Amino acid sequence: MKLVDPSGKEVTSKENKEANELEGQLNKNIEKLLEPILNKIKLSGGQVPQQQLMQLSSAAHQMLFNRMVYNLAVKIGVKDISELLGEDDVEELQTSLSNQLQIVDQSAQQSEENEEN
């Protein structure tokens, strides 16, 4: 979680006890959200690949964060999403997301999978 001071400078959780506490609370809620899923996996006797567990954790984090933002927006009376998110925001995030994308050659991926098997 990122917090900023009034001048817009980021305050890390190491520097801010309140931010550290909020991160701890969020992590407890993520654990609570994931607990039934993890119990189901344990009871089934199956295993889930580490990558999928990381995806589940990331999805839980995103779901809770989205709900927090939604609840906050409703609480302060936001009627239109444009009050919170502008075209510049979308374009900036689009660039950031595009920079994270890694395209894999299908034929190279299939030959790697065949080598593993």
Q: What are 31's two structure tokens?
A: 């654990």
Angle between helices 17-44 and 50-76 (to 10 degrees): 130
Sequence ranges of the domains in the chain: 3-116
pTM over 0.75: no
Q: What pLDDT does residue 15 have?
A: 64
Q: pLDDT value at position 2?
A: 63
Q: What is the pLDDT of residues 33-84, one digit of tens each?
A: 999 998 998 899 888 888 998 999 999 999 999 999 999 999 999 999 999 9
**Which tokens is 25 given?**
């609370």
* Distance (Å, whole) CA 94 – CA 104: 20
Task: Provide the pLDDT confidence category of residue 7 given band limits of 50, 70 and 90.
Answer: confident
Residue 60 is predicted with a pLDDT of: 94
